[in-house]
Amino acid sequence: MARDSGIWQNSFIFISVDFNFSLRPKIKRQQLQQRQGTKTGKKKKMHSFGYRANALLTFAVTILALMCAIASLSDNLNTPSPSAQIEILNINWFQKQPHGNDEVSLTLNITADLQSLFTWNTKQLFIFVAAEYETPKNALNQVSLWDAIIPAKEFAKFSIHTSNKYRFIDQGHNLRGKEFNLTLHWHVMPKTGKMFANKIVMSGYHLPEDYR
Amino acid sequence: MDWQGQKLAEHLMQILLLAFAVVAFATGYIMGSFQMMILIYAGGVVLTTLVTVPNWPFFNRHPLKWLDPSEAEKHPKPQLAVNSKKKSVKKN
């Protein structure tokens, strides 16, 4: 069917409603006007109410998608400068489980300032603390100890005193005297678009030589 | 609507939507509020719908010329030829 060249956006959503909505009822008669656009030989079509509504809706949604894409790109303009410290206050206990795996319970003091990570397009910040160490069996072991969701910028500067939320269990019994890193990871979850993730690595922690 | 009105409606819709999108994004970015951007844009879409979609009179300033009834009678619509008995022979 021949359509006006301006309606490119119609190809996105096609609603097959084509009714004539007119304020004055017209009886169809033969039209006297000559065929317009004789150079290209195309017939002009009168757009109905449904046609205009469809075109407008499609165009509006396309522009909304573009706005969200640009909003996501604007996140790259932000240069964050987060900081964090983790202190192990106490090792509560350090045992070998009946089935042979080591387990540790720690009390941590986590201080962080992650306010610069928030932008206008940030929904929330997901952070977690992981212990990383090496064993003969695995080159890298990562055990998540604690996590939290920060919903707004005001809560992003905090200092928390907590025992590990998730159990620190090894695959085996390699933890005696082990040196490990504590890393604070964060995932910046946007309202629209790309999610960014990064981390701060803090090294120099180690476990005692004997079980307690 | 008439042809000029239709063209006007189409152009008006595109320009209005783009303008509202730009204003909404700028306001949202400067105010640091995603909510504000969405609200302004939604308002813009509703306004554009009210302006361009219904058949307002200012879209019909050059009304279409319809044929007079007396003239229509002089040029009757051609009748469709009746040939139901003839069928094209299919070759196997």
Q: What does the pLDDT look like over A114-171, one tens digit per residue?
A: 999 999 999 999 999 999 999 998 899 999 999 999 999 999 999 999 998 999 998 8
Chain B, 52 to 71: residues with Cβ < 8 Å from chain A are: 52-55, 64-67, 69, 71
- Residue B55: its chain A contacts at CB < 8 A? 21-23, 49
CA-based nearest residue in chain A for residue B38 = A64
For residue A109, give both structure tokens.
């003091």
Question: Do β-strands A83-96 and A102-113 pair in parallel, antiparallel, or remain unpaired?
Answer: antiparallel
| Mean pLDDT to the nearest integer, B29-38 | 91
Residue B89: the pLDDT is 56
- pLDDT, greater one: A27 or A179: A179
Of the candidates A142, A71, A53, A126, the one whose C-alpha atom is nearest the C-alpha of residue B27 is A71
In angstroms, what CA-CA distances link B49 with A75, A201, B36?
Answer: 32, 54, 20
Contact yes or no for A112/A128 (Cβ under 8 A): no
| pTM (2 d.p.) | 0.71
Q: What is the dihedral of CA A128, A134, A140, A141, to 10 degrees?
A: -50
Q: Which residue of B has its CA nearest to A122?
A: B34
B65 to chain A nearest CA, in Å?
Answer: 7
Interface contact flag, A52 B48, Cβ < 8 Å: no
Is A194 touching B (CB cutoff 8 A)? no
- State the pLDDT at residue A40: 62
Q: Is the pLDDT of residue A13 over 80?
A: no
Q: Which of the residues A66, A120, A123, A153 would you substitute to probe the B interface, choosing the one with the greatest number of B C-beta atoms within 10 Å?
A: A120
The Cα–Cα gap between A199 and A26 comes to 70
A125 in Cβ contact with A113 (< 8 Å): no
Rounded to an integer, what distance in angstroms lies between the CA atom of residue A102 and that of residue A147? Answer: 22
> What per-residue confidence (pLDDT) applies to A39?
55
The pLDDT assigned to A182 comes to 92
Residue B71's pLDDT is 75
CA A178/CA A176 separation, integer angstroms:
5
C-alpha distance across the termini of chain B, in Å? 53
- Closest chain A residue to B1, measured at CA: A46
Q: What is the average per-residue pLDDT within A182-204?
A: 92
Residue with more model confidence, B23 or A34:
B23
CA dist A142 and A140 (Å) reads: 7
Q: What's the confidence (pLDDT) of residue B84?
A: 58
Higher pLDDT, B64 or A136: A136
CA distance to partner chain A, nearest, from residue B40 (Å): 12
**Separation between Cα atoms, residue A68 and residue A98, nearest integer Å:** 54
Q: Count of alpha carbons within 13 Å of B82, Cβ hemisphere only?
A: 0
Taking the alpha carbons of A131, A134, A136, A139 in that order, is the dihedral positive or negative? positive
Q: Which residues on chain B are in Cβ contact (under 8 Å) with A64?
A: 21, 41
Confidence of residue B50 (pLDDT cuts 50, 70, 90): very high
In the block, which residue shows the tokens 């009678």? B73
Q: Does A59 touch chain B (CB under 8 A)?
A: yes
Q: Which residue of A has its CA nearest to B33?
A: A120
At A172, the pLDDT band (50, 70, 90 cuts) reads confident
- Mean pLDDT (chain A) is 82
* % chain A with pLDDT above 70: 81
Q: Tell whether A120 is within 8 A of chain B (Cβ).
A: yes
Element (H, E) at A94: strand A83-96
Q: Residue A101 has which token pair?
A: 């795996």
**CA–CA gap between residue A34 and residue A43 (Å, rounded):** 10
